């Protein structure tokens, strides 16, 4: 491969990685449309990589993951036909790597024959089984009894595969088996119910998000009780970062299930708490001096220090997006102020950071750009 071809491949790999990060950021922010856009761009980059490096299996494995994640987003939006198509393509792509070819009876033999690379073999088998469990549920949910045979075939194969991995593998746990079993049970429940037309005007509320939201609320309550019982104030200081992260996650979960006012409130709380622990207190002009001074005084601990600054900037970016999405034009000044601060913080951070780079700056800039675009609608 010539030098120019190698540069093209390197560029495509960077683009695929960057689009994955942007996809993840959109999912966290509850921006399903943006997530699908970045998923499509990532698939295009990987498809070109497959064409340029046909012998590199990692590209096709990466593509399978893109399709699997896309099916999740499409399902949450209630776009059944597209979700099934992505889920089916994920199974087909993962199957090309599966050492047992979907045959659960071959798990023990393959793990034994590939014991020198057992973890890789087990991982490949797990991915295929997960994709089949997902496809079984999607088929049952959106196509109903007409796909009953395929639902049972994929669901049972996933469970039997995980049963074999649990007995003979080293990385599989009972929780993994329980997870695919729950997906198959959900698929069977869909088959028992009459098929219902999918309302494509509103995203479907994801049960997983509701469960995670309850867990987040419970964690926040536990921390708040601990803080309330401590008259010294030590618990409050020790738990500020953890509490900020929980509210940040809570904002995204509320948004995912359509709780706009709660999402905004959680984002406001997260931004306030993160600003309390941000060494720069939200001032981009202080980033470089703060990082260099901390690095001089505490060599070896700078990653955690930088994370306090980066997390606070992320919270400002998230709040800007939430306000633009749920409050619109009346919050335009606040959205612009928060977004500008987040971007400028990252611009300074990447100049001196050992852990943050241009891709991180691009992520926050993309979220702020989406917020500003929402204001123009």
133, 239: one domain: no
233, 176: one domain: no
In angstroms, the Cα distances linking 132 to 116, 123, 183, 302 are: 26, 14, 10, 43
Along the 377 residues of the chain, how does pLDDT read in single tens digits?
555 567 788 888 888 888 888 888 888 777 777 788 888 888 988 988 888 888 777 888 889 999 999 998 888 877 888 899 999 999 998 888 765 555 555 566 655 555 544 446 777 788 888 999 999 999 998 888 888 999 999 999 889 888 888 887 777 888 888 888 998 999 998 888 755 444 333 444 445 556 677 777 888 888 888 878 877 777 677 677 888 888 888 888 888 778 889 999 999 999 999 999 899 999 999 999 998 888 888 766 656 788 889 889 999 999 999 999 899 899 999 999 999 999 999 999 989 887 777 877 887 888 888 888 888 77
- Asked whether residue 44 is domain-assigned, the answer is no
124, 159: one domain: yes
| CA–CA separation, 210 and 205 (whole Å) | 8
CA angle 161-164-165, nearest 5°? 85
**pLDDT at residue number 254:** 84
187, 324: one domain: no
| CA–CA separation, 341 and 367 (whole Å) | 13
Of 192, 218, 237, the last residue of a domain is 192
**pLDDT at residue number 244:** 86
232, 166: one domain: no
Q: CA nearest 275: which of 234, 318, 235?
A: 318
- Asked whether residue 184 is domain-assigned, the answer is yes
- Asked whether residue 80 is domain-assigned, the answer is yes
- Spatial CB neighbours of 342, under 8 Å, sequence gap ≥ 6: 313, 314, 316, 317, 320, 364, 368
176, 73: one domain: yes
**pLDDT at residue number 273:** 92
Structural domain for 186, as ranges: 56-192
Side-chain-side CA neighbours of residue 4 (13 Å): 0
111, 165: one domain: yes
- Strand, helix or coil at 354? coil
313, 230: one domain: yes
175, 301: one domain: no
Q: 32 φ, ψ to 5°?
A: -65, -40
Of 162, 192, 222, the last residue of a domain is 192
Q: DSSP readout, 159-195?
A: HHHHHHHHHH-SS--HHHHHHHHHHHHHHHHHHHSPP
Where does 32-147 have alpha helices with state H? 32-52, 57-76, 80-95, 107-113, 118-143
Token pair of 39 as six digits: 């998923």
Predicted structure pTM score:
0.52
- Asked whether residue 45 is domain-assigned, the answer is no
71, 135: one domain: yes
242, 183: one domain: no
- Total number of domains constituting the chain: 2
The CATH number linked to 215 is 1.25.40
- Asked whether residue 24 is domain-assigned, the answer is no
- Asked whether residue 168 is domain-assigned, the answer is yes
| CA–CA separation, 325 and 332 (whole Å) | 11
Q: 324 φ, ψ to 5°?
A: -65, -40
77, 179: one domain: yes
Token pair of 221 as six digits: 């309550």
- Asked whether residue 105 is domain-assigned, the answer is yes
- Asked whether residue 41 is domain-assigned, the answer is no
For residue 281, the 8-state DSSP code is T
């Amino acid at each position: 491969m010539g030098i120019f071809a190698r540069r093209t491949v390197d560029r495509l790999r960077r683009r695929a990685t960057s689009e994955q990060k942007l996809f993840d950021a959109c999912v966290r922010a509850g921006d399903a449309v943006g997530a699908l856009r970045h998923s499509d761009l990532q698939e295009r980059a990987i498809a070109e990589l497959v064409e340029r490096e046909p012998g590199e299996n990692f590209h096709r494995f990466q593509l399978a993951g893109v399709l699997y994640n896309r099916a999740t987003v499409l399902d949450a939006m209630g776009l059944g036909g597209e979700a099934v198509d992505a889920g089916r393509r994920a199974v087909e792509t993962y199957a090309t790597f599966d050492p047992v070819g979907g045959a659960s009876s071959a798990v023990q033999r393959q793990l034994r024959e590939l014991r020198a690379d057992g973890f890789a073999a087990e991982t490949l088998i797990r991915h295929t089984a997960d994709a089949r469990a997902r496809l079984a549920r999607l088929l049952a949910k959106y196509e109903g009894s007409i796909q009953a045979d395929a639902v049972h075939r994929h669901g049972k194969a996933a469970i039997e595969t995980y049963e074999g991995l649990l007995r003979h593998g080293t990385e599989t746990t009972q929780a993994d088996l329980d997870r695919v079993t729950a997906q198959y049970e959900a698929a069977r429940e869909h088959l028992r119910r009459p098929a219902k037309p999918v309302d494509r005007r509103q995203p479907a509320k994801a049960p997983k998000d509701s469960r995670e939201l309850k867990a987040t609320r419970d964690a926040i309550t536990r921390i708040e009780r601990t803080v309330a019982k401590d008259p010294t104030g030590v618990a409050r200081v020790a738990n500020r970062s953890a509490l900020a992260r929980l509210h940040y996650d809570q904002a995204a979960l509320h948004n995912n299930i359509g709780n706009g006012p709660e999402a905004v409130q959680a984002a406001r709380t997260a931004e306030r708490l993160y600003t309390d622990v941000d060494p720069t207190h939200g001032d981009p002009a202080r980033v470089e001096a703060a990082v260099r001074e901390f690095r001089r005084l505490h060599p070896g601990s700078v990653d955690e220090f930088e994370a306090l600054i980066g997390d606070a900037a992320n919270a400002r970016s998230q709040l800007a997006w939430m306000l633009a999405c749920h409050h619109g034009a009346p919050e335009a000044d606040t959205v612009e102020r928060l977004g500008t601060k987040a971007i400028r913080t990252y611009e300074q951070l990447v100049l001196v950071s050992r852990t943050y780079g241009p891709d991180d700056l691009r992520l926050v800039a993309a979220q702020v750009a989406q917020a500003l675009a929402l204001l123009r609608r």
